[in-house]
Amino acid sequence: MYMLRIQGLNKSFYTGSSGDGMNGEKVAVRGVNLSLREGDFVTVIGSNGAGKSTLLNIIAGVYYPDSGTIYLDGKDITRLPEYRRAGSIGRVFQNPGHGTAGSMTIEENLAMALRRGKPRRLARGVTESDRKLFRDYLCLLDLGLEKRLTDPVRLLSGGQRQALALLMAAMTRPRLLLLDEHTASLDPKTAEHILNLTCKIVAQNRLTAIMVTHNLMHALNVGSRTLMMHEGEIILDVSGSERAGMTVEDLLDKFAKVRGERLVEDRLLLA
């Protein structure tokens, strides 16, 4: 049985009036079908505007599709509000600030993540047992944050804040972890550290994950399956031995064969 099953997903956005006076419409996701088994780690690549982030937003419940269905563990969540999915779907964004609250302390952020998707109750925000748990989790990051529980998150570097956001998204072992170019805004050394942490956390917690990336090498070397999107469609889906022996040049050649054109995107090619 598939853990995540997406069928016939379509999404367009109104973009205002076109030059001929007609209503403008941008197709962001077009006829997407995708199935993931528990434990799959899928990387997604594609040029700007390919529909990668829109697909994640639809899965997370930020947008509802115009048509199509999404099943998580056999349950239809297509029209389920985002907050109702929060307990099952974790997410890390490109901007470290989007996954953490800068005015709150590290322990308060972790406490908020620990209770995500659970009923609200009147109780102390952070207990001593919580703090012990948080220190154990933070030790995994190897950044010394376990000694800074009461520091406001705004004092952290971008890499430290993104590592915290990753931990917050994964600590409750969501059924699905969505990673939306979560290393793109970091310097190369920090990005590599966050990527290694991602692989470690996903493996240790046996999470199912979808990672959007602009780095073609990461797309082939991380996880177990690679998808390429173009103009809202999934045009390539490689895994197993086919993926294991694939180079970046092979990936670009496959794109050219499918689309009849060469992929030209500086952000992808120079990563």
Render each residue's pLDDT in the chain as its tens digit; 271 residues.
799 999 999 999 987 755 555 567 899 999 999 999 999 999 999 888 899 999 999 999 999 999 999 999 999 999 999 999 988 999 999 998 888 999 999 999 999 898 876 655 545 568 889 999 999 999 989 999 999 999 999 999 999 999 999 999 999 999 999 999 999 989 999 999 999 999 999 999 999 999 999 899 999 999 999 999 999 999 999 999 999 989 988 888 887 877 666 665 544 544 4
pTM of the predicted model as reported, rounded to 2 decimal places? 0.89
Run of H or E residues at 69:
strand 67-72
Please report, for residues 16, 105, 203, 210, 215, the alpha-carbon distance to residue 33 in angstroms, rounded to integers and kept in the order given. 28, 41, 25, 14, 23
Kindly state the DSSP code that residue 145 receives in the 8-state scheme. G
The Cα–Cα gap between 138 and 72 comes to 29
The Cα–Cα gap between 97 and 80 comes to 26
Which of 41, 87, 80, 44 is closest to 62 using CA atoms?
A: 80
Which conformational region is residue 44 in: left (phi greater than 0), alpha (psi within -120 to 50 degrees), or beta?
A: beta
Domains and CATH numbers, the chain: 4-104+158-269 (3.40.50.300)
Which of 216, 254, 263 is closest to 236 using CA atoms?
A: 254
